[in-house]
Amino acid sequence: MKKLGIVYFSATGTTKALAKAIEEGANEIENTQVRLFPIGKEQLVDGRFVDLAVLSKLGECDAIVFGSPTYMGGVASQFKAFADATSELWCEQLWANKLAAGFTCGSALNGDQSSTLYYMITLACQHGMLWVSVDAAHGYTKKNINRLGSQLGVVAQTTSESLHEIDLATAHYLGKRIAGLLNEKTRVPLLHDE
């Protein structure tokens, strides 16, 4: 059984909805066990992430998907506190060769969400992880996933608590893609291929 961890911070529920869509997509691939790890205020003490049990459980995963809303052009401070806490793992490269991916949400069409994903990519590379992108070009699938055109990861945009159905479909697809790669499939069919 391959293990996929999704660690994320969500203030309004939109990032959580993306995490759930990724989970649902990954669960469509046999031999995949998915676990959600929401970052909550009880895990933060004096601005530091202190839940070492979560770090241990993520260490057991074969892939980790990172999620955070985009605040002021970057990850939320709660997610950054989690990332900083992984430095002890970095010293020994304990996450090396795990698959990684990311997702974010912002209120503007171009609210510098790519900066958030670049941060997550840098975090993954610091750990020696292998980044999984969204391999669906904007506008080239029948169901038109990836409406905002980010190849780096899932980018969603909303000014309310509900997400665009295409953004959720893109998250679902990324979950299916990373679980497929975990289970040694070279490519999961695009939505229009199914």
* Contact (Cβ atoms closer than 8 angstroms) between residue 173 and residue 193: no
CA–CA gap between residue 145 and residue 140 (Å, rounded): 8
Give me the residues of the chain with pLDDT under 50, please. Answer: 186, 192-193
Return the pLDDT at 58.
98
Question: Which CATH number characterizes residue 175's domain?
Answer: 3.40.50.360
Return the pLDDT at 142.
62
Please tell me whether the overall predicted TM-score, pTM, comes out greater than 0.85 for this model.
yes
Return the pLDDT at 159.
84
Residue where the block lists tokens 């994903």: 117
CA–CA gap between residue 22 and residue 154 (Å, rounded): 10
CA–CA gap between residue 157 and residue 141 (Å, rounded): 20
Determine the structural domain holding residue 26 and report its residue range. 2-193
What are the pLDDT digits (tens) for 62-72? 999 999 999 99
Return the pLDDT at 151.
86
DSSP state of 179: H
Q: How many other C-beta atoms lie within 10 A of the C-beta of residue 99?
A: 21
Number of domains present in the structure of the chain: 1
Return the pLDDT at 144.
78
Return the pLDDT at 186.
47
Token pair for residue 187? 């490519």
What are the pLDDT digits (tens) for 118-127? 999 999 999 9
